[in-house]
Structure 1
Amino acid sequence: MWQQTLITLRARPRGFHLVTDELLAQLPRLRECRTGLLHLWLQHTSASLTVNENADPAVRRDFERFFNRLVPQGTEGFEHNDEGADDLPAHFKASLLGCQVTVPVTAGRLATGTWQGIYLGEHRDHGGARRVLATLYGEDA
């Protein structure tokens, strides 16, 4: 089984957002996959994908605080600011976290741990809708 789907995630404010359910809603064939992999590729350079805590929203707020301290907006000495003061910091954060995740699929479900979910890191103040290319490959159920 091979399936490739371009998913558009709704626009979100700056921060870290749990998007697992929004992604799965666009992937009905995942339920037909007995064993496989779901590869998610974010088609943007100022946002990121990562897997982490899916229960306590404080974790996502703390992620935002940590990355804002690590890559503060308004640091002098950088040239790239074509789209505003949040432009280059967003690119740095996206590179640190990455634009892709691969999740195993078992018996038609993501084989994540109990407390794991997929985050969209929105690193722009007004990033807009984000596109994720989802490639599912594996054995039919």
Structure 2
Amino acid sequence: MRQATTILSIDTHGQGLTEMTRAVSAWVREQHMDEGLLTLFCRHTSASLIIQENAAPEVKTDILAYFARIAPEDRQAYAHDDEGPDDMPAHLRSILTGVHLSIPLIGGRLMLGTWQGIYLFEHRRAAHRRQVALHMAGM
């Protein structure tokens, strides 16, 4: 069994979904493994990782609107606001979506569905440089 690791830096433009499928897939190809498991881990508490549709742009809009409803920016609702009114909602959104993903590698390809993409989900309004650790084990 072989292993490979790297850290990807992803620049965000504020709240939203930044697709990282191409960057992840390119790194996976460089490892020359046929079978295995890729694990992705977001090293932040106010951003997360999701696998979501990458065809219809309305999906991203609807996702953002949904999370704005279930974890709104409301200074009255939270005690924690050290970095502003989007701080605690960002933490809650990260909890709900998660900071890690596992994707099987079969035949040298990530087993994503036809319309699935890997996204970094930025929950803060300001732009950030986020780090995602990748670990692949296989052969």
Same fold (TM over 0.5): yes
CA distance in 1 between counterparts of 2:65 and 2:54 reads 17
The question of 1:112 aligning with 2:115 is answered: no
Aligned residues: CA RMSD: 1.4
Partner of 1:131: 131
Amino acid at match of 2:17: F
Structure 2: gaps (5+ residues): none
SS at 1:21 equivalent = helix
Deviation by residue 1:44-71 (Cα, 9 ceiling, x = unmatched): 0000101111111110111000000111
CA distance in 1 between counterparts of 2:61 and 2:20 reads 15
8 A Cα contact 2:37 2:102, kept in partner: yes
Identity over aligned residues, as a percent? 38
Amino acid at match of 1:96: L
Compute the TM-score of the two structures, normalised by the length of structure 2.
0.92
SS at 2:40 equivalent = strand
Cα deviation for residue 28 of structure 1 reads 4.2
CA distance in 1 between counterparts of 2:45 and 2:127 reads 10
Aligned length: 138
CA distance in 2 between counterparts of 1:110 and 1:36 reads 9
Deviation by residue 1:26-47 (Cα, 9 ceiling, x = unmatched): 44434x1111111000000000
SS at 2:102 equivalent = strand
Cα deviation for residue 19 of structure 1 reads 1.6
Amino acid at match of 2:104: P
Structure 1: gaps (5+ residues): none
SS at 1:34 equivalent = coil
Partner of 2:10: 9
SS at 2:8 equivalent = strand
Amino acid at match of 1:3: A
Compute the TM-score of the two structures, normalised by the length of structure 1.
0.91
CA distance in 2 between counterparts of 1:123 and 1:104 reads 27
Moved over 4 A (4+): none
Partner of 1:85: 85
CA distance in 1 between counterparts of 2:92 and 2:13 reads 19
CA distance in 2 between counterparts of 1:118 and 1:88 reads 24
8 A Cα contact 2:52 2:117, kept in partner: yes
CA distance in 2 between counterparts of 1:100 and 1:78 reads 26
Amino acid at match of 1:122: E
Partner of 2:56: 56
Amino acid at match of 2:33: C
